Structure 1
């Protein structure tokens, strides 16, 4: 078994002048080396070949289709548009790769990739035919086909088929996570809307001269019966109690609410009750 040395730190006892302390010290140990994963190495090699094939494909197609389009358009625009021919089917293939565990969701990407590839190969072949060398056009078109074919083989190898139950399980997992993600902007919009409604309400209340027009703190749909005292500005608790009683309010809770609104927000219930007995 092959091994390789590695350096680690451990605490060791070290004594000086009769005092022992645990201090870090470096030690070298041999650990076994796992065998080479030739399967993974092979996948990495094929992935590298696919990447090189895509680069060559994009370069050749862009040059060929760009030269074709440059006959009727400026060169910069022609070559910029030519790059899209291969980038379209490459983008569709990447989406197909991302959805390899949910094949039902990538059907459009798969069809779009092959359609984009067909258009790109046709444009390259047309360039060779117009240039007077049909064979060169066909061989150039085959470059894109070979790159796409190699990538398709790699995708089929990596995308292990799932059973119907496994696919349904993953679909539910993705659905639940999508709902959780969708709740974030929805909550944000709801919160913003409620904040705007509250701001509008406060602004309208301020225009009417009161941030809380219902001074009795009673629900708007169930106003308390009986007369309401007139606000006369700042006053003492005793004056507030007298004003409430003079207005015909006898309910201790309503008197307390009035005192807290116009005199002292922290007025105690027993204090208000005492003044009610005194004034009444």
Structure 2
């Protein structure tokens, strides 16, 4: 409920909703438990053809709720997912769900990915400000990104990559929810973002190489090679932090790029070491 302004029960009367929620974007979410559906009216406006295209591509390969568009684009009707939130599950179940999510993202990348900017081009407009902070510059220089520095495959993904927006269905499939903000992002951004927010024990497993087989599959789908090892694992964590900070900066989130990047790095700092692994600047 942390992202919702209000939640209140609705008397059925002649309608079918059991509850209504006023969402943070100014939209409305209606829950219909009897029909097992969710009706979402987004505060950002009507559903666009581009959104439908991205969501169809996303849903074809990732376990997102099935959906239809109603009211001439005024709202989306989607299936109500019965299951548990990722963070409510034990470590072994979280790891299993995330491994499957990464594999599904590999299929999304292979079938719906498009070539786009690498990290160097993506951050060009904020780089001068970023390197004024010596600590951030050192962390930036230490990251080892391989081909991510010069080219990345981009895929439809939710803006907010967080574990609280990932359900695990009764069939143990990971199901991203709250997909009103789908946009094109680097192929690794969403699964790594969810992994970061899934708990320190999950990040410990990541640093031990538990997810390496799935990351190898994902990188291969993007036409790249996952080398594994500490350098690659740290590099992708820093890349995710840099991408998210730049995206938030460009979206008008308060704080300069150095503050936003620094905050993201603080989240992952316990899982980074101080060894310089080869810069990409």
Q: Give the shorter-chain TM-score range.
A: under 0.3
Structure ranking higher on relative contact order (CA contacts 8 Å, 6+ apart): 2
In the superposition, the TM-score normalised over structure 1's length comes to: 0.20
Higher strand share: 2
In the superposition, the TM-score normalised over structure 2's length comes to: 0.20
Higher helix share: 1
